[in-house]
Amino acid sequence: MKFSSFRRALVLAGAACAFSASAIAQKPITIIVPYAPGGSADLATRVLAQFAAPGVGAPMVVDNRTGGGGVVGWGAAARSAPDGTTLLTVELSYAIAAGLIPTLPFDPQKAFTQITTAVKVPHVLVVNPAVPAKNVQEFIALAKAQPGKLNYGSGGNGTNTHLAGELFKSTTGVDIVHVPYKGAGAVLTDLMGNQVQALITSVPTALPHIKSGKLRALMVTGSERNAMLPDVPTAKEAGIPKMDIDYWIGIGAPAGTPQTTVDKLNKEFNAALAQPEAKKKFAEMGMTVVANTPAQATQLVNSEIQRWSAVIKQAGIKAD
């Protein structure tokens, strides 16, 4: 090859790399949220998109694709072109579905390239104030003294609130009865009415009712105390270290998205998450910024798939 031809080949190769890294700025970026507006995943995505768009150099549009407990949105994102213009909000329910739904139309460990874990939200174990237990160990003792008499609610079969309850049962050896509801609102109503006695849900969901005295918080499931509930012990402090659970929310892209694009998006999303105003907005929603690397985000998703698949198998949980 002549020198001029070689130089031309290098220029063309460089142009190709530059294109793959800048293609995401050519048109709006759609972030598919597989749930209805107003939930934690939706709210976190909208805040992240707001702060990341200027750095990415493209407008970001949140597209709520509901249906099938997330399957519709996941499938739509998996079928999208791997060019960085369609992304997916990936969160705990995605990892749960991998072990819960054997008929998923994609491989949950291969369909997406993880970009970053944006935030995490600890869960909290709450009980009706009529329950005569002031801490977790008293609640465990009460449940063991009355096997099958206490109920715990969830937002539905196979949801993160259901699996958190099953993990609590298997970890502590208590016999409490699962009562599934259709959504968080219904279970909270019955919990405050003492139709069910306990619930493990996200801190933002339970916080207003804890503050009002309608629910009693026994422990938070994160690795550290929550700023919104500074007097509530962690699971480890309560003697149940295996109950370290976070509801995490991240961003992924269809498999095959160029690494240069993934790296640029990671850089810009993490820069957005580092902004003080963004951190403040997340903190107001009870969320803590994570902002990790694509490799760390991938490791988290895969480890959570393995963890919850084991819980699902042990409890014999089937999708509705």
pLDDT-derived band at 26 (thresholds 50, 70, 90) equals: low
Q: Which amino acid is at 86?
A: T
CA diameter of the chain: 86
Tally the C-alpha atoms within 13 A of residue 164's C-alpha that lie toward its C-beta. 30
How does pLDDT run across 255-286, given as a tens digit for each residue?
Answer: 999 999 999 999 999 999 999 999 999 988 88
How does pLDDT run across 59-69, given as a tens digit for each residue?
Answer: 999 999 998 88
**pLDDT for residue 3 is more than 70:** no
Q: Which amino acid is at 61?
A: V
**pLDDT for residue 9 is more than 60:** no
Give whole-number Cα distances, 236 to 120, 225, 245, in Å. Answer: 18, 10, 11
Cα separation, 10 vs 189, in Å, equals 65
297 contacts 250 by C-beta, under 8 angstroms: yes
pLDDT-derived band at 222 (thresholds 50, 70, 90) equals: confident
The tokens for 48 are: 């992240």
248 contacts 303 by C-beta, under 8 angstroms: no
pLDDT-derived band at 5 (thresholds 50, 70, 90) equals: very low
Run of H or E including 15: helix 3-22
93 contacts 159 by C-beta, under 8 angstroms: yes
Long-range contact set of residues 316-320: C-beta below 8 Å, sequence gap at least 24: 317/100, 317/157, 317/158, 317/162, 317/163, 317/166, 318/100, 318/157, 318/158, 319/69, 319/100, 319/101, 319/157, 319/158, 320/156, 320/157, 320/158
- Residues contacting 68, CB < 8 A, separation 6+: none
Enter the DSSP assignment of 132.
S
220 contacts 203 by C-beta, under 8 angstroms: yes
Q: Quick one: pLDDT at residue 69?
A: 84
How does pLDDT run across 148-207, given as a tens digit for each residue?
Answer: 999 999 988 888 899 999 999 999 999 999 999 987 788 999 999 999 999 999 888 899
Tally the C-alpha atoms within 13 A of residue 11's C-alpha that lie toward its C-beta. 6
- Best CA proximity match to 109, nearest among 248, 260, 319, 300: 300
Cα separation, 1 vs 224, in Å, equals 61
152 contacts 293 by C-beta, under 8 angstroms: no
